[in-house]
A and B are shown apart, each in its own frame.
Chain A
Amino acid sequence: MDVLRYKHASSSQVKISGSTLTLSISPLTQYQIEQAELNARSHFEAHGCLPVGHEFNSEVGLQIIALASPLDADALRACLFGDELEYLYDQWILIQEQSTPDIGQLKEHLRKAVNNDPSITIDGLMAYQSEDAQAYYGKPMIDLTVGQLAYYLCLWSAYKEFHVPDESGKTKMVSKKWLNKKS
Chain B
Amino acid sequence: MAEQKKLSIKDIRADQREVSLIKWPGTEKEIGLMLLRCGEIQEAHFAAVEWFQKKIQLMDGVNLAEFIREKERQEIFRMLLQPDSKRPQDRLFNSAEDVRRELDLDEVAYFQAEHQRLTEERLQRLGIQKIEAE
Residue numbers of A with Cβ under 8 A of B are 9-19, 21-22, 24, 26, 28-29, 32, 47-49, 55, 58-59, 62, 67-72, 74-85, 87, 91, 95, 98, 143, 145
Contacts and interface: CB of A to CB of B under 8 A. Distances in A.
A13 B5 contact: no
B60 interface: no
B50 A12 contact: no
Interface in B82-134: 119, 122-123, 126-134
B1 A21 contact: no
Interface string B37-62: 11101100110011001000000000
| Chain A contact surface mostly | mixed
Identify the 10 closest CB pairs spanning chains A and B, nearest first. Answer: A77-B39, A12-B133, A17-B128, A17-B126, A47-B46, A13-B131, A75-B9, A79-B12, A55-B45, A49-B49
B1 A70 contact: no
A87 B127 CA distance: 11
A4 to B, nearest CB: 11
A24 B36 CA distance: 24
B10 to A, nearest CB: 9
A15 B129 contact: yes
A59 B133 contact: no
Nearest to A95: B133
Contacts, number: 113
Contacts of B6: 70
Given A12-B133, A47-B46, A49-B49, A77 B37 contact: yes
B38 A62 contact: yes
Given A55-B45, A83-B119, A85-B38, A72 B5 contact: yes
Contacts of A24: 3, 134
Q: Which of B36, B42, B46, B132 has the most CB of A within 10 A?
A: B42
A58 B11 CA distance: 23
